[in-house]
Amino acid sequence: NYTAQLQYKKNWLPTVIIGSLMLIGLASALWEIKAMGLAKYTQPPRIPADILTAFEAMPNVTTLNSVVQHRRHNYFAAMQLDYGHRPNGYSTGEAITVGGIPPKTLGTAIEVAKQAFANRLPLRSYQLLHNLGADYVFVGPEEHASQYTPEKFNASFYFTPVYTAPTVAIYQLNPVFTEKTLSTFDNNALEWRGYFIDPAPIYPDQTNPSSSLGLVTAWRLTRPADKNYTVFIHFVDSDGNIIAQADHQLWAWDIRSEGPTTTWTPNLTHLDIVALPPRVLTSNGPLSIRMGIWLPENGQQFSPENQILDTDEAGRLVISNWR
């Protein structure tokens, strides 16, 4: 009898599992129909004329992102916008255009898009949109009516207006730097991905310091960090003398908050910004910018690895010349 019962259990268990999965799938479909209606599948979206005009003004140059493809009306696939008027659980804000390499999960994509709108600093919004693979960003009535501070998209170094109207606008992300791995540190744990000069920086404390220029460096972790790395940046004259330094702990926005490298999500680009020292701005002669990574608490310095740039006798990367 025991053997028969065991065999019976083996026979009905797969049926129960398959039936449960089918019920879950049916329930999900019914929930979506209830929440979103059949219009998603049978009709183009109803969009106000001013927003439609904004969509039509955007060049058709981006590649659709598979992460948000299934939440897009086919009617607007040619516009290549993810229009965000959806019930709770589906909305990414208003709308966002995406391309490039998508985030690994839909949840990450939604959170990155949300924070890109919510963050008040142009640099941080740019970083988040860059990680999302965005080419354009749509700022609609909901952003204008909320606390999403859409005026940050007027930062012309990072964003170029494509279409503007009183309540809607589309901005294109500017290619402010070419991102590629220029060097790694600490057994390939930390990648340096390039740098650029921000001509009108606003810093994390939302102040404009005495320096009118900001040095932005791009970094990416290949795995979770167990160290808070510090970058040293030396400005060296033609005689080899350090005339100014901009050493500081690497600090950047992640997805929901800012912090040092132990708080960063791997495989996302993080933009660190520091003011150029006044001595650099007033220097008359040419300077060389040299950089490295170390830990102040124990003095450990990490030698550059896989670098495509020169290093000097002190093991510093020679990243650029200033003037």
Which whole number is the average pLDDT over 92-102? 37
Is the Cβ–Cβ distance between 139 and 84 less than 8 Å? no
- What pLDDT was estimated at residue 144? 74
- What pLDDT was estimated at residue 230? 98
Helix axes 122-132, 106-118, angle to 10 degrees: 160
- What pLDDT was estimated at residue 101? 37
- What pLDDT was estimated at residue 46? 52
| Alpha helices in the chain, H assignment, sequence order | 2-36, 39-42, 49-57, 66-69, 106-118, 122-132, 141-145, 278-281
Measured CA to CA, the distance from residue 77 to residue 317 in angstroms comes to 45
**DSSP state letter for 64:** -
Adjacent-strand bridge partners of 219? 192, 270
Measured CA to CA, the distance from residue 319 to residue 31 in angstroms comes to 55
Domains and CATH numbers, the chain: 44-173 (no CATH), 183-322 (2.70.50)
Question: Which has the higher per-residue pLDDT, 109 or 65?
Answer: 109
Read off the pLDDT of residues 194-223 as tens digits, 9 standing for 90 and up.
999 999 988 876 555 556 799 999 999 999
Q: Which of 61-65, 182-186, 202-206 has the lowest mean pLDDT?
A: 61-65
Mean pLDDT estimate for the chain: 76
Question: Which has the higher per-residue pLDDT, 6 or 303?
Answer: 303
Q: Which of 25-39, 44-58, 64-78, 106-120 has the lowest mean pLDDT?
A: 64-78
Is the Cβ–Cβ distance between 202 and 123 less than 8 Å? yes
In percent, the amount of the chain with pLDDT more than 90 equals 40
Exposure on the CB side of residue 28, measured as CA atoms within 13 A: 6
Q: Per-residue pLDDT for 8 more than 60?
A: no
Q: Which of 18, 27, 113 is nearest to 65 (CA)?
A: 113
Read off the pLDDT of residues 221-276 as tens digits, 9 standing for 90 and up.
999 999 999 999 999 999 999 999 999 999 999 988 999 999 999 999 999 999 99
**DSSP state letter for 265:** P
Question: Which has the higher per-residue pLDDT, 57 or 225?
Answer: 225
- What pLDDT was estimated at residue 11? 63
- What pLDDT was estimated at residue 136? 75
Claim: this prediction has a pTM higher than 0.85: no
Q: Which of 281, 157, 143 is nearest to 216 (CA)?
A: 157
Is the Cβ–Cβ distance between 102 and 177 less than 8 Å? no
Q: Which of 78, 93, 104 is nearest to 266 (CA)?
A: 104
What type of residue sits at position 143? E
